[in-house]
Amino acid sequence: MNQATGAPGTSRPGGRTARVREAVLRAAGDALADKGIGGVDLAEVARLAGVGKTTVYRRWGTVPGLVADLLAEMAESSLPRARTGALETDLAALAGLILKTLTDERQGPLFKAVIAAAASDPQTAAALHRFYRVRIDEWAPCVAEAAARGDVPAGTDADEVVRALSAPLYYRFLVSGDPLDPDTAARAAAAAAAAARAGAYA
């Protein structure tokens, strides 16, 4: 909050509070990716982040509170949508981004841990749903623009096209265990575009 307290060269937008948040969320994400939700401990996160335990307990309170803030930060910092000018290539860009995330050696286990935690914790589930709401809102205009160009029927449910493209990747990741590779991503994008053009989401 108070940028004047930062030493020269270490100050960032938001100042010390923002730096503490960044360090704590980084440590929380590392713990989640390494050990799953059961391995996240507020005192240990504080130690890894080089931050006082009291600060972490006061600001985040509980593990679900910390995970919810991590998801909020991931939504804030996630990449903007593609603007390639064509539905197929916009959707292919999103599928590639999801593939990269789910197969990343840190992000993949982190998402798996958070989604598993959401199965039994309502606060984590609500934070997870908000994360995907933000991502769907970011990418839906790709479909709305395609509708405006006449590439998909008027009245196509843009949110649902984004979900339809994402779903096969998450299904393999969480449910069936089938491989996640560039072909899978390309096919998910092509299928969502084909179904949208055929009017399946109108």
Contacts with a second copy by CB under 8 A lie at 36, 38, 112-113, 115-120, 125-126, 128-129, 132-133, 136, 160, 163-164, 166-168, 170-172, 174-178, 187, 190-192, 194-195, 197-201
Closest to a second copy by CB, 57 or 132: 132
**In the complex, minimum distance from the CB of residue 59 to a second copy, in angstroms, rounded to a whole number:** 26
Q: Can you tell me the distance from the alpha carbon of 36 to that of 95, in angstroms, rounded to the nearest whole number?
A: 25
**Cβ-contact 31, 46 below 8 angstroms:** no
Q: Is the dihedral of CA 87, 92, 94, 95 positive or negative?
A: positive
**In the complex, minimum distance from the CB of residue 156 to a second copy, in angstroms, rounded to a whole number:** 11
**Cβ-contact 112, 37 below 8 angstroms:** no
Closest to a second copy by CB, 57 or 170: 170
> Residues 186-194: contacts with CB within 8 Å, 24+ apart?
186/92, 186/95, 188/95, 189/88, 189/91, 189/92, 189/94, 189/95, 189/165, 190/88, 190/91, 190/92, 191/164, 191/165, 192/91, 192/161, 192/164, 192/165, 193/87, 193/88, 193/91
**In the complex, minimum distance from the CB of residue 79 to a second copy, in angstroms, rounded to a whole number:** 18
Closest to a second copy by CB, 49 or 98: 98
Closest to a second copy by CB, 22 or 41: 41
Q: How far apart are the first and last CA of the chain?
A: 47
Q: Can you tell me the distance from the alpha carbon of 60 to that of 42, in angstroms, rounded to the nearest whole number?
A: 9
Q: At 160, which amino acid appears?
A: E
Closest to a second copy by CB, 150 or 177: 177
**In the complex, minimum distance from the CB of residue 41 to a second copy, in angstroms, rounded to a whole number:** 16
Closest to a second copy by CB, 20 or 164: 164
**In the complex, minimum distance from the CB of residue 172 to a second copy, in angstroms, rounded to a whole number:** 7
**In the complex, minimum distance from the CB of residue 115 to a second copy, in angstroms, rounded to a whole number:** 6
